Structure 1
């Protein structure tokens, strides 16, 4: 492909060869937010357009708010990898991927500039309008790939997106409180926690045992929705914040 017209008004186009066809049976109804996790935006942009990388994203948002589109929204970009949400495992086919330039945890994680977040909000509003993306399906890469990915991370301003009509958010409960569930615990309280996480969308097996897989998912939940402490321990704050999110969903899960 030599080029295409940008789906998002004002976006630059730099074509990545790393894409394929979406599965026709799956509707595009998610936005997955990432950080680039590289030393510079230029390096990230080049990597996403390098056939040797075998990765891509529909969009890249630079620190100054400049938006680059690399894959058409009608095509399947290779951004989510092995992932799942509410039982769907081909996240690449049902989502639009947005990479946000930030060095990430490996290279000196920093706050996201205001101009960049304003551009992300404008871009996500455009994507949502074009595809009818429900607010609760604007998610972190770490939500759909717990443990494997941690982006866009605990510094990402989810509340600011929510105030703009994007994503899902409730004020997190203060850190601490009972019950305190951790590795090795088992019983009805653990099963209830796992059930709530699965109902919200996380890929988790309901076993009634707080094993390492449960701790990994709790970590991912905390990173997005209760970033005051990310320790994989489901204290009262974690459980209550999760319950409030379930109650605040705009429509029943079906």
Structure 2
């Protein structure tokens, strides 16, 4: 009798376990499972600075809430290069807010967020950038993220954010293979070139053109002018050519 009771208990536990791991099913429809699916995966990486005084303080905020509500990121990198993971990569972290890039909304759902311990008014340390490059190499390779889709928070939310600030070394990161950067040798800009169209092609949301232009200048020129500058057309034309030369993405 005791043996039968033990068997019954084990079977009960197995049933409960199976129910706990079963995919959620809507009671309003009949379930007809299909094998043609996969977990949501990240398609881009968004870099931030914490605008705080220490990694410890940033960790506290990222694990609780701030004055604006709950916020999180997948990774935090300290000034000393130490890496912290706060959210699983397959999960949606709350780091980008209302944002848009290359026509895609809800960037939180398609991105990995990386916070850098920096107050926004100082250069980023060599240890921190080297640690970031290691992480970028891992994420782009392992998750299949196209390396050029590494952008800043200010790029995807130009009307509200300016991180990772004019101090972030985008050129150094691009030389390591992540993100876009204009080449030294550039083709002449053709007659009739539309700089605004190129800015949109790069990925910027033009619903507020001045904010988009300031974000472009912050990323590629280390300043935040809200008007066109001499040389912008040459930079944008080269970036446009680089994007056109990229192989087509597959499996997206």
Tell me the TM-score range normalised by the shorter chain.
0.7 to 0.9
Q: Which residue of 1 aligns with 2:226?
A: 232
Displacement of 1:131 after TM fit? 1.3
Deviation of 1:236 after TM superposition, in Å, equals 2.8
- Pick the aligned partner of 1:214 from 209, 221, 227: 209
Deviation of 1:39 (Å): 2.0
CA deviations over 1:193-249 (Å, ceiling 9, x no partner):
2211111111114xxxxxxx211110000000122x421111231222111111122
Aligned with 2:55 (options 30, 41, 66): 41
Structure exhibiting the larger radius of gyration computed from Cα positions: 2
Task: Name the structure 1 match of 2:199.
Answer: 197
Unaligned runs of 5+ in 2: 1-37, 186-191
Q: What pairs up with 1:140-155 in 2 under 5 angstroms?
A: 140-155=152-167
- Structure 2: distance between partners of 1:197 and 1:26: 28
Give the match for residue 19 of structure 1: none
Work out whether 1:132 is the aligned partner of 2:144.
Answer: yes
CA distance in 2, matches of 1:194, 1:163: 26
Conserved? CA contact 1:226–1:241, under 8 Å: no
TM-score, normalised to structure 2, is 0.75
Shift of 1:98: 0.1
1:253 to partner: Cα distance: 7.6
Q: Deviations over 1:170-198 (max 9, x none)?
A: 1589xxxxxxxxxxxxxxx8x92221111
Could you tell me how far apart the structure 1 residues matched to 2:156 and 2:202 are?
12
What is the aligned partner in structure 2 of residue 118 from structure 1?
Answer: 130
Q: Does 1:87 align with 2:103?
A: yes
Distance 2:39 2:212 in 1: 28
Task: State the partner residue of 1:181.
Answer: none
Please give the secondary structure, in 1, of the residue aligned with 2:164: coil
The residue that corresponds to 1:4 in the other structure is none
Residue by residue, what CA displacement relative to the aligned partner does 1:41-77 show, whole Å, maximum 9, x if unpaired?
2111100000564100000000000000000001000
1:159 deviation in Å?
A: 1.5
Distance in 1 (CA, whole Å) between partners of 2:148 and 2:215 is 16
Answer whether contact 1:222 1:230 (CA < 8 A) is retained: yes
Structure 1 window deviating more from structure 2 (94-103 vs 237-246): it is 237-246
Question: For the Cα contact (< 8 Å) 1:65–1:118, is it kept in 2?
Answer: yes
1:44-55 counterparts in 2 under 5 A?
A: 44-51=58-65, 53-55=69-71
The two structures have a TM-score, normalised by structure 1, of 0.74
Aligned in 2, Cα 1:92/1:197: closer, same or farther, shift over 3 Å?
Answer: same
